[in-house]
Chain A
Amino acid sequence: MHGRLKVRTTEEQKAIKLKEQQKKLDAYKHAMERVLSTRKKDSYDPKSLQISSGILQANPDVYTIWNYRKEVILMKVKESNDDELEGEEKLIDFLEDEIKLTEQCLPSNPKSYGTWHHRYWVLLHHPKPNWNNEFSLCTKYLSKDDRNFHCWDYRRLLVNKIGITLDHELRFSTERLNNNFSNYSSWHYRSTLRKLDSDCVNHELELVKSAVFTDPIDSSAWFYLRWVLSNPTIKKDTKLELLEAFEQLEELEPDCKWVILGKCWLLEQGDLKTRLETYKKLVVLDPLRKGMYMDFIRQAQKEI
C-alpha cells in the first residue's frame, strides 16, 4: 500500500532552526560565564578547561579563551618542571591534546589568527615538537585555499625556526605556482627565497615569461617580472630577446596594458622616441593611471 510522505514546510524549518540557534547561543553565553568566573592565577578548574575547548570549536576567534588556555598551559609547564620523573611525559600528552584542539578549530575558520598563533605558541613550549609535521599542515590548508595568508606566515615561522634547504622551498614554490600562478603570495614567497645570480635569473625569467604569456591579464606575474628585471645580472641580450617576445605578445593582445608596461620596463635605457610612444599608448589603454604615465613622459622629456 502506498503511503504518504510529509515534509516540513520552510516556515516550520525556519522556526526549528531559530529555536536551535537560540539554544546554542544560551549554551555559549553560559559557558563563557563559567570559564571566565573560574579564571585564577595559580590554579585552574578542569571542567572549565573542558568547556573552553567547546567554546573554541564553535568560535575560534575568542582570543580571551585562547589566552585562558595559555595560562593553564604555563601552569602545566611549571608543574612538569617540578616533577622530575614523569613531568615531561605528562606535559607532552597535555600539549598534544592542545595541538589536536587547534586542528579541530581550523576547519571552522582556517583564517583564525587565534588558532594559528596558539598552535605555534604551544609548539614553542613543547619539549619535543614535531616541526616537520607542521609543514604538511600548512600545505594542506594552502591546498584548500591558496590565498590563505596565514599558511604563508606560518610557513615562514617554521622555516625560520628549523631552517630548511633552499632546494626544498624552491620546489615547494614551483609546485604552488604550477598549481595556480595567479597568486601574489606565491610569487612573493619565491622572491624572498634567494638573491638571484646570473645562473638562476634566466630560469626565473623563463618561468615568469611562461606565466605572462599564458595569462597576460594576471597582474601577480607581472609584478614578479618587474622584480626579476630589476636584477643587475641580466644581460642586455636577454632583455632584447624578451622585448621581441613582448612585441609578438602585443600583436596577439593589443589591448593589454601590462604587455605595454612590460615593454616600458625593458626600454628604460632604450630609444627615447619609442619610450615616449609607448607611454602615450598606456595613457589611452589605462586611463586610471594616467597621472603616473604622464609623469614618466615628463621625466623622459627632461632627458632631451
Chain B
Amino acid sequence: MDYEFPKEFDLIVVGTGVVESILSAAASRVGKRVLQIDENDYYGGQWASFSLESIIKSKHHKKDYGGNESETNLLRFGNDLVSLKNIAHKFHMTSNNTLEEETDKIENEEQPKENKWTEENLLKLSRKFNIDLYPKLQYARGDFVELLISSNIARYCEYRSVSRILIWFNNRLESLPCSRSDVFANTKVSVVEKRMLMKLLTSLNDKEKHVQNYENKTFKEFLTDKKLTPNLIHYVLYGISSSSDDTSCEDGIEKARRFLNSLGRFGNTPFLFSLYGSGEIPQAFCRLSAVFGGTFALGQQIQGFSISDDKFKSVTLQSQTVEAEKLVLNIENLPARFIKSDKLEYISRCILITDRSVLDSEKEHLSLIFYPPTDGKSFTTVIEMGFLTGTCPNNLYLVHLIAKQNTSPQEDFQHVIDKLFASHVEETSQEKPSILWSYYFSMPETNDIILSDDLPNNIFVCPGPEIDLDYDTSVDKAKLLFEKMYPDLEFLPRAPDPEEIIIGDDNEEEESTDINEEDHDKVINVEQEDKENVISAEQEDKVNVISAEQEDKVDQQ
C-alpha cells in the first residue's frame, strides 16, 4: 500500500463530515488539488452511520497522536469542547426472564413469541444495522435535493420517501393531514375545519403579505387570529411548520411553506431519506471529489499542523508533512484556542431498536413523528425506520429521537418514551413496541460557535450537524465558505454524464497538463450550456426514489 502523498496540494480537508465533504467536492470539481483526510477509519465523523457493534465500541472522541506541542511546534487538531457527551447504551432484555417465560408458555401450551430477541442474536445481525449519529431528511424541493440534481451527485445514492407523518395529539398518535388527500380522508376534523385548514395552507403557499402586521408576534398568535380551531392550530403549528409556541410568525410561515412546497414531488410527504442511512451522504460528496482527482486517506495518525506568518502552512501526518494553500476542517478538529465560545448548547439524542412500529399498519412505513412541546419539555422529532430503508434487519425498527437539550437526553425523552413504547420489564403489551436496545448521547450545536479573531484567514471551519431536520443550512454554510475560499469560481457545476466525456487520444500528450484558471473556465462554460439543456422537467428521474413496492431493493447482507 502506498503511503506517500504528494508534498503539496491546493487544499487539505481534515474531516469527512457533510459540510467539509461538500467543499472538497466543490474544490476538486473546479480543478483544485484536494487532499481529504480523517483520523477515523470511516467516513462521516459526527455524520456517520454505524453497525450495531461499532457504535457500541466507538468512543467518539479525539485520538491523540501528537507529542508535546511545544516540542514539535505543531498545533494539535481537536478540542474537548465539540464532542459527543453523556454516551450511554443498554440492552433491555435479560436472558433469565426469557428462559422462564418460554418454559411457562410451553407448559401452558401457548406459542412462544417467534423472535425472542437476545443480546447475542441482536449482535449477530450487527452488520445489517446502519445507525446514524444524526439522521437527516431531505425536502423534495429543498436546496439540498436541488444541489444533488444540479451537480449530478444524486446518482450516487438511492432514496425512500417518508411514507407517513404522525403527530401526538389528544394523547395518541394521529396522522398529520398535510396534503389535500390527507385532509379529505381525515375523520377527526369537521368539514368546516377542513375548509379552514385548506384555505390557510393555500394562502401560506401563495402569498408573502401575511407577515405585515405580525412582525413581532408569534406564529401561534397569527394562527389564533385566523380563527383556527385548537385542532387545526395543533396540526399547523407543531406538524406542518414543526414550530414551538414562541416561534416567530415569519419563521413559522417560512417553515410551513417549505413543507407544503415539497409535497407531491416524490411522494405524498415532503421528505426523502437516503437508503442505508444518512452516512451515505458525506460519502457521495467524497466520491465526487475523488472522481475529479481528490486524494483520500482515512485512519490517519495526524500529528498536527503548522502556522507561519499568521497563515496555515502544512499538516503533518505519521510520516510526512504536506503543504497547502488552504485548510478546511471540521470544528471537531479545531484546536481549542481558536474557539471563543466556552459554553455550548446541546442536542439531545436517543436511538432505539424496537420490535414493532409505534403505529401498526399493513405495510412497512418510514415514519416521521412530531411530539409537540409540553410541560417544559422541548419539541421532539422522532423518525422510525424499518427494514426497507436498509438501516436495520427485517422485523425490527430503528427509532431516532431528536430534541433541543433541556437537562439530559434521558430526562428530555422520558415522557415520549413512556407514551410510545412499552418498558420491557412490564408484561409486553400487544400494542406498544418493546425497546430492545437504547443509546443516548448529547451532540453539541456547532452552527453558531464563535471563533477567535486570530484564526488564520486561510483556515475555514465547518460546523457539525445542526438541529434542523434537513441539510439546507449545511448547504448554505458550504456555499458561503466556498465563496470565501474561491470567490470567482462556480459552486458544483453539473458533472458530465459518461456519454459526454471525450477520452484523450495519444496525440494529446504534448499538451501541457498544468491547469490554469482559463482552462477551468472553458470546461465550466461548456457545461453551462449543457445545463440549460439538461435540467428540464425530467429532473425527477435524476433522483433515484425507490417506490414503496420495490421491496427487494435493499441489499441482503
Q: Tell whether, in the assembled complex, residue A2 and residue B513 are in contact, meaning their CB atoms are under 8 Å apart.
A: yes
Most chain B beta-carbon contacts within 10 A, residue among A5, A181, A209, A211: A5
Considering only residues 501-557 of chain B, those with a C-beta below 8 Å from chain A are 501-502, 504, 513, 515, 519, 523, 526-527, 529-530, 533
> Known contacts A2-B293, A7-B530; is A13 also within 8 Å of B191 by CB?
no
Q: Tell whether, in the assembled complex, residue B513 and residue A7 are in contact, meaning their CB atoms are under 8 Å apart.
A: no
**A216 at the B interface (CB under 8 A):** yes
**B194 at the A interface (CB under 8 A):** yes
Q: In this complex, what residue of B is CB-closest to A212? A: B191
Residues of B within 8 A of A7 (CB): 496, 500-502, 523, 526-527, 530
Considering only residues 176-209 of chain B, those with a C-beta below 8 Å from chain A are 180-181, 183-185, 191-192, 194-196, 198-199
Q: Tell whether, in the assembled complex, residue A9 and residue B529 are in contact, meaning their CB atoms are under 8 Å apart.
A: yes
* A8, B502: Cα distance in complex, Å: 6
* A245, B184: Cα distance in complex, Å: 16
* A286, B513: Cα distance in complex, Å: 71
* A94, B194: Cα distance in complex, Å: 54
Q: Tell whether, in the assembled complex, residue A2 and residue B515 are in contact, meaning their CB atoms are under 8 Å apart.
A: yes
Residues of A within 8 A of B192 (CB): 213, 245, 248-249, 252
**B160 at the A interface (CB under 8 A):** no
Distance between B490 CB and nearest chain A CB, rounded to angstroms: 14
Q: Tell whether, in the assembled complex, residue B501 and residue A10 are in contact, meaning their CB atoms are under 8 Å apart.
A: no
* A253, B199: Cα distance in complex, Å: 9
Residues of A within 8 A of B504 (CB): 6
* A2, B185: Cα distance in complex, Å: 58
Q: Tell whether, in the assembled complex, residue A13 and residue B500 are in contact, meaning their CB atoms are under 8 Å apart.
A: yes
Considering only residues 162-183 of chain A, those with a C-beta below 8 Å from chain B are 177-182
Residues of B within 8 A of A4 (CB): 513, 515, 519, 523
Residues of A within 8 A of B194 (CB): 210, 213-214
Distance between B435 CB and nearest chain A CB, rounded to angstroms: 33
Q: Tell whether, in the assembled complex, residue B502 and residue A214 are in contact, meaning their CB atoms are under 8 Å apart.
A: no
**B219 at the A interface (CB under 8 A):** no
* A2, B180: Cα distance in complex, Å: 53
Q: In this complex, what residue of A is CB-closest to B496? A: A7
**B400 at the A interface (CB under 8 A):** no
Q: Tell whether, in the assembled complex, residue B195 and residue A216 are in contact, meaning their CB atoms are under 8 Å apart.
A: yes
Q: Tell whether, in the assembled complex, residue B502 and residue A181 are in contact, meaning their CB atoms are under 8 Å apart.
A: no
**A85 at the B interface (CB under 8 A):** no
**A291 at the B interface (CB under 8 A):** no
**B326 at the A interface (CB under 8 A):** no
* A252, B226: Cα distance in complex, Å: 12
> Known contacts A7-B530, A252-B199; is A180 also within 8 Å of B523 by CB?
no
* A181, B180: Cα distance in complex, Å: 9
Q: In this complex, what residue of A is CB-closest to B199? A: A252
Most chain A beta-carbon contacts within 10 A, residue among B191, B502, B513, B523: B191
Residues of A within 8 A of B33 (CB): 2
* A1, B513: Cα distance in complex, Å: 8
**A3 at the B interface (CB under 8 A):** yes
Q: Tell whether, in the assembled complex, residue B533 and residue A10 are in contact, meaning their CB atoms are under 8 Å apart.
A: yes
**B273 at the A interface (CB under 8 A):** no
Q: In this complex, what residue of A is CB-closest to B502? A: A6
Say which residue of B181, B527, B529 sits within 8 Å of A178 (CB atoms).
B181
Contact with B along A1-32 (1 / 0, CB 8 A): 11111111110010000000000000000000
**B292 at the A interface (CB under 8 A):** yes
Considering only residues 270-299 of chain B, those with a C-beta below 8 Å from chain A are 292-293
Contact with B along A192-219 (1 / 0, CB 8 A): 0000000000000000011101111000
Contact with A along B138-169 (1 / 0, CB 8 A): 00000000000000000000000000000000
Residues of B within 8 A of A1 (CB): 513
Distance between A218 CB and nearest chain B CB, rounded to angstroms: 9
Residues of B within 8 A of A182 (CB): 180
Distance between B547 CB and nearest chain A CB, rounded to angstroms: 9
Interface size on A, residues (CB 8 A): 29
* A3, B293: Cα distance in complex, Å: 8
Q: In this complex, what residue of B is CB-closest to A12? A: B502
Residues of A within 8 A of B519 (CB): 4
> Known contacts A10-B529, A13-B500, A252-B199; is A5 also within 8 Å of B513 by CB?
no
> Known contacts A1-B513, A248-B192; is A181 also within 8 Å of B529 by CB?
no
Q: Tell whether, in the assembled complex, residue B292 and residue A5 are in contact, meaning their CB atoms are under 8 Å apart.
A: yes
Q: Tell whether, in the assembled complex, residue B526 and residue A9 are in contact, meaning their CB atoms are under 8 Å apart.
A: yes
> Known contacts A213-B195, A214-B194; is A8 also within 8 Å of B184 by CB?
no
**B66 at the A interface (CB under 8 A):** no
Q: Tell whether, in the assembled complex, residue A253 and residue B195 are in contact, meaning their CB atoms are under 8 Å apart.
A: yes
Say which residue of A2, A3, A177, A210 sits within 8 Å of B191 (CB atoms).
A210
Q: Tell whether, in the assembled complex, residue A210 and residue B184 are in contact, meaning their CB atoms are under 8 Å apart.
A: yes
Q: Tell whether, in the assembled complex, residue B31 and residue A249 are in contact, meaning their CB atoms are under 8 Å apart.
A: no
Q: Tell whether, in the assembled complex, residue A214 and residue B198 are in contact, meaning their CB atoms are under 8 Å apart.
A: yes
Residues of B within 8 A of A8 (CB): 500-502
* A245, B195: Cα distance in complex, Å: 12
* A215, B185: Cα distance in complex, Å: 12
* A289, B184: Cα distance in complex, Å: 29
Q: In this complex, what residue of A is CB-closest to B196? A: A252
* A210, B199: Cα distance in complex, Å: 14
Q: Tell whether, in the assembled complex, residue A213 and residue B513 are in contact, meaning their CB atoms are under 8 Å apart.
A: no
Residues of A within 8 A of B196 (CB): 252
Distance between A110 CB and nearest chain B CB, rounded to angstroms: 16
* A55, B498: Cα distance in complex, Å: 28
* A199, B282: Cα distance in complex, Å: 59
Q: In this complex, what residue of B is CB-closest to A216? A: B195
Contact with B along A85-109 (1 / 0, CB 8 A): 0000000000000000000000000
Q: In this complex, what residue of A is CB-closest to B268? A: A179
Nearest 5 CB-CB pairings of A with B: A213-B191, A178-B185, A6-B502, A214-B184, A7-B496
Given contacts A3-B513, A6-B501, A252-B195, 20 further A-B contacts (CB under 8 A): A1-B513, A2-B33, A5-B292, A5-B496, A7-B496, A7-B502, A7-B530, A9-B526, A13-B500, A13-B533, A178-B181, A180-B180, A211-B184, A213-B195, A214-B184, A214-B194, A214-B198, A215-B180, A216-B195, A249-B195
Q: Show 28 residue pairs from A and B whose CB-CB distance is below 8 angstroms, ordered by the A residue.
A: A1-B513, A2-B513, A4-B523, A5-B496, A5-B501, A5-B523, A7-B502, A7-B530, A8-B500, A8-B501, A8-B502, A9-B529, A10-B529, A13-B500, A178-B181, A180-B181, A181-B184, A210-B184, A211-B184, A213-B191, A214-B183, A214-B184, A215-B180, A248-B192, A252-B192, A252-B195, A253-B195, A253-B199
B contacts, CB < 8 Å to A: 31, 33, 180-181, 183-185, 191-192, 194-196, 198-199, 292-293, 496, 500-502, 504, 513, 515, 519, 523, 526-527, 529-530, 533
